[in-house]
Amino acid sequence: MNPGDQITGSTKIGEKQVVLRGYGNPSWSEIRDGEEKREDYMICNGKYGEISQGSDVFNLAYGPSTGGLEESVRFNIYTYGERILSIAAEPLYKDRRIVMTGTEPVTALLRVERINGAYSPFYSSLFLTALESIGDAGNDPDLGYARILMNEVARIADHLHVIGRLAEGAAQNVAYHQIFALREDLLRIVSARFGHRYFFGVNGYGGLRRKVNLEGITMDIHRISGQFREIWSKLEESRIFVDRIQTTTTVRKPWLIGPAARGAGFRTDSRISSSGLPYGDLGMQISVSESGDSLSRALVRKDEIAESASIIETVEGLIRHVPDAVDFNGRSFEGEYTTRTEAPGGDAVMRIALSGSRMEAFYLRSPSVQNLAAFCAGIGGNVLTDFTFGFESLGIHISETGGYL
Amino acid sequence: MFRGLRKGRVTTKFPRKPPESVPAWTTRPIWKGEGDASCPVNAIEDHRVSMGRCISCGYCSGAYEPDGSVDLSTANGKGRIFSRSYHVYLFDAGTCGACNLEIKALTNPVYDMSRLGIFFTSTPKHADAILVSGVMADGMREPLRHAVEALPEPRLVFAVGACAISGGILGKAISEVIDADVIVPGCPPNPFTILDALLKSRGDS
């Protein structure tokens, strides 16, 4: 059994609700109780971030706000000056404690879109798939394909961002600038076709909220994919780039997810195993690399950009008519539903429960929580200059590591 | 490098020329003259949209349409105190990441803010202005106070994005801790709007 293949159950440990997945280590996420979240980070602060003691060892505090980090997070790096002995992450400085319970689904949807701007279509699709299941809204295949299309475009944008940041960290400035120019090109395509660079306000109940232009998008995406392939072919010829990221932050744990798991040889992808969207019709391929290091994760993402372009081509051919969204403001929903998807960083699980016209519970196990733990697990033994390669290669978004009330 | 030469110039001609591509729903929604819309953040009053509150959701699209202008930012009297090279520090008070990505986009070759003499710094001690994005998360209150105190005078504080300005739909505004000199609306503001705000705050016409 591969990690991430199935959720084995949801259980309470003490006062905490914990989702058990795969085998071995339970991963956690919290439901509704904001006060216990720091303890929940023991996966970072405990086993994998244990304080190393010895002659001349000191704590190098990095963050929560400093140059080099795109988001606010603090790391306590235990080192004697060059080698990282261990590391503890504190990502909750910027925890927004997003209030979900008691809100109407319309408000909850807007908040879900803003959990992680880069993953907005993934999380809005998860939320709406769950809500539509509770509300018996039917299952329009064209809508499913349209959501897949948006997700795969966002996946390409995120992978470009991760590989671009990796190139920047490895001092490959020409490649970095070319990749970010390419990402800008992609975001402008999204903007022109969907009205918003991060898909805010596009996804709706039973359809799309906005008129979108999908015609010929495959050609645009293949152009982006082709140009990226050309940049990558030069990048991988750079011994400096390869030497810097190869064998850094090697992590091969059974609880890995997403590109981190696939980069460590685990053939797992929840798009195939259990996504609420019709990926099963598309014959998609899973890309795997074996080494578990920063280079392997970049190789997986590189392959996934091409695979996403291929998926987009397939679904554009399948879409006949995307339905318009239905106004669900004030509508009564009763029930609960759990759904999952493969976000760019890995497996994401969302559970919602509604009573009357209000949210009763909201739960998201976001991939960045797991990837942050993977970073803490893998960075020990590396030198300080490897920090950037390890962190960026895992595509961690601190915004989605917070809790929900 | 040769690929870059083959591809030619990708850098925008903004601000000498109008922006080439503006995401419609990050600009000001204008009433079409008929119909009504309910706004989830109560940004509409007398058919006018308060851009400090607008979260760019497009839920008003039946009765409103975006005007496509990137000239959205406003500055208090303290604006326009810098005239030469301009160093800015990005501070994430509690974002979804989108504002940060749009601010960072200013360094890509398409916007290339360094051609206009604007640069990021890695510490507020070397900055002329601080760009604060996101809602005011409790854990970031003290770091924000420290960061603003570390900025040498004269200094400017930007509130970038609906969350920082009004709390958006997620939380509290940064005004709980610090008053902003320049506000840059949008959810997230598009890079042209942010660049326009930086240039205006420097006194460029």
What was the pLDDT predicted at A377? 83
Percentage of chain B beyond pLDDT 70 is: 96
Answer whether residue B6 is part of any domain.
no
Q: Which long-range contacts (CB under 8 A, 24 or more apart) does A62-68 make?
A: A62/A387, A63/A90, A63/A93, A64/A90, A64/A93, A64/A94, A64/B139, A64/B140, A64/B143, A65/B91, A65/B92, A65/B140, A65/B143, A65/B144, A65/B147, A66/B122, A66/B123, A67/B89, A67/B120, A67/B121, A67/B122, A67/B123, A68/A388, A68/B122
Region A310-319 average pLDDT:
96
pLDDT value at position A36?
38
pLDDT mean across residues, chain B = 92
In a domain, B16, yes or no: no
Question: Three-state DSSP class for B40?
Answer: coil
Distance between B142 CA and the closest CA of chain A, angstroms: 10
Q: Does B123 touch chain A (CB under 8 A)?
A: yes
Instruction: Among A84-98, B120-134, B143-157, name the one with the lowest average pLDDT.
Output: A84-98
- Tell me: pLDDT of A18 over 70: no
Q: What is the pLDDT of residue A175?
A: 94
pLDDT at A51: 54
Q: What pLDDT sits at residue B195?
A: 96
Right CATH for A106-353+387-394 from 1.10.8.640, 1.10.645.10, 2.60.40.10, 1.10.10.10? 1.10.645.10
* Mutation target vs A (from B20, B92, B99; most A CBs, 10 A cutoff): B92
Domain presence at residue B53: no
Q: Do A195 and B143 touch (CB under 8 A)?
A: no
Chain B residues closer than 8 Å to A65 by CB:
91-92, 140, 143-144, 147
pLDDT at A237: 93
B171–A96 CB contact, under 8 Å = yes
B124: CATH: 3.40.50.12280
Specify the pLDDT at position A207: 96
Residues of B in contact with A183 (CB under 8 A): 108
Q: A97: distance to nearest CA of chain B, Å? A: 8
Nearest CA in chain B to A231: B3
Rounded-to-integer distance, Cα A22 and Cα A1, Å: 7
Q: How many CB pairs under 8 A join A and B?
A: 166
Is the pLDDT score of A194 beyond 80? yes
One-letter amino acid for residue A162 of the chain: V
Instruction: Inspect the interface and report whether the beta carbons of A210 and B24 lie closer than 8 Å.
Output: no
Total domains, chain B: 1
Can you give the pLDDT at residue A113? 97
Q: Note whether A95 contacts B169, CB cutoff 8 Å.
A: no
Helix/strand/coil for B129: strand
Confidence of residue B123 (pLDDT cuts 50, 70, 90): very high
* Residue B205, pLDDT score: 62
**How many C-beta atoms surround the C-beta of residue B98 within 10 A?**
28
Nearest CA-CA distance, residue B172 and chain A, Å: 9
In this predicted structure, what is the pLDDT of residue A193? Answer: 96
pLDDT at A365: 81
- Establish if B15 belongs to a structural domain: no
- Give B82's pLDDT tier (boundaries 50, 70, 90): confident
Which residue on chain B is closest to A233 by alpha carbon? B3
Query: Is 80 exceeded by the pLDDT of residue A274?
Result: no
Q: Is B93 on the interface with A (CB under 8 A)?
A: yes
Q: Which pLDDT score is estimated for A91?
A: 83
Length of chain A equals 405
Weakest-pLDDT range from A41-55, A157-171, B26-40, B41-55:
A41-55
Assign A53 a pLDDT band (cuts: 50, 70, 90). low
- Chain segment A120-144, per-residue pLDDT in tens: 999 999 999 999 999 988 889 999 9
User: Which of B61, B95, B122 is facing A66, going by the closest CB pair?
Assistant: B122
A328 torsion bin: left (phi>0), alpha (psi -120 to 50), beta (else): alpha
B46 Cβ neighbours under 8 A, 6+ residues apart: none
**A191 and B105: CB-CB below 8 Å?**
no
Interface with B, mutate which of A37, A62, A69, A93 (most B CBs under 10 A) = A93
B57 to chain A: nearest residue by CA?
Answer: A201
pLDDT at A46 over 50: no
Chain A residues with CB under 8 Å of B125 CB are none
| B33 CB within 8 Å of a chain A CB | no
Check if B115 contacts A (Cβ < 8 Å).
no
Q: How far is B81 from chain A (nearest CA, A)?
A: 24
In this predicted model, which residue has the larger pLDDT, B75 or A163?
Answer: A163
What residues of A are in contact with residue B57 (Cβ under 8 Å)? 110, 200-201
Query: Above 70 in pLDDT, residue A41?
Result: no
Question: Tell me, what's the pLDDT at A259?
Answer: 97
Q: What is the pLDDT of residues A56-75, one digit of tens each?
A: 788 888 989 988 889 999 88
| Domain presence at residue B179 | yes
Q: Give the pLDDT confidence score for residue A5 in this predicted structure.
A: 33
Mean pLDDT for the stretch of residues B119-129: 95
Question: How sure is the predictor about A328, in pLDDT bands with cuts at 50, 70 and 90?
Answer: confident
* pLDDT above 80 for A335: yes
Report percent pLDDT > 70 for chain A. Answer: 86
pLDDT at B77 over 80: no
B98:A117 CB<8 A: yes
Q: Are A369 and A146 in contact (CB under 8 A)?
A: no
For the record, the structure tokens of B178 come out as: 């610090």
Tell me if B92 and A195 make a contact (CB, 8 A cut-off).
no
Residues 150-189, chain B: which have Cβ within 8 Å of A?
A: 163, 168-171, 187-188
Average pLDDT of chain A is 85
Q: Which residue of A has its CA nearest to B127?
A: A67
Contact A197 B121 (CB under 8 A): no
Name the residue among A166, A162, A167, A160 with its Cα closest to residue A181. Answer: A160
In a mutagenesis test of the A interface, which of B96, B100, B112, B176 is the best target, namely the one with the most A β-carbons within 10 Å? B96
Cβ separation of A111 and B169 shorter than 8 Å?
yes
The neighbouring-strand residues paired with B173 are none
B10 in reach of chain A (CB within 8 A): yes
Higher pLDDT, B98 or B201: B98
DSSP B84: S
Buried b (16+ CB within 10 A) or exposed e, B40-72: bbebbeeeebbbbbbbbbbbbbebbbbeeebeb
Distance from the B188 Cα atom to the nearest Cα atom in chain A, whole angstroms: 9
- In this predicted model, which residue has the larger pLDDT, A281 or A226? A226
pLDDT for the residue A19? 40
**Residue B89 — very low, low, confident or very high, per pLDDT cuts 50/70/90?**
very high
DSSP-assigned beta bridge partners for residue A338: A351
Whether the predicted pLDDT of A3 surpasses 50: no
Residues of A in contact with B135 (CB under 8 A): 96
Compare A34 and B128 and report the one with higher pLDDT. Answer: B128
Answer yes or no: is pLDDT of B78 > 80: no
Q: Residue A361: which pLDDT band, with cuts at 50, 70 and 90?
A: confident
Residue of A nearest to B97 (CA): A117
> Quick check: B137 and A96 CB within 8 A?
yes
| Contact: A200, B55; criterion CB under 8 Å | yes
What is the rounded CA–CA span in Å between residue B158 and residue B128? 11
Position with higher pLDDT, A121 vs A24:
A121
pLDDT band at B79 (very low <50, low <70, confident <90, very high): low
CA within 13 Å, CB half, A215: 3
| A120–chain B nearest CA distance, Å | 9
The pLDDT tens digits for B35-70 are 888 899 999 999 999 999 999 999 998 899 999 999
At residue A40, does pLDDT exceed 50?
no
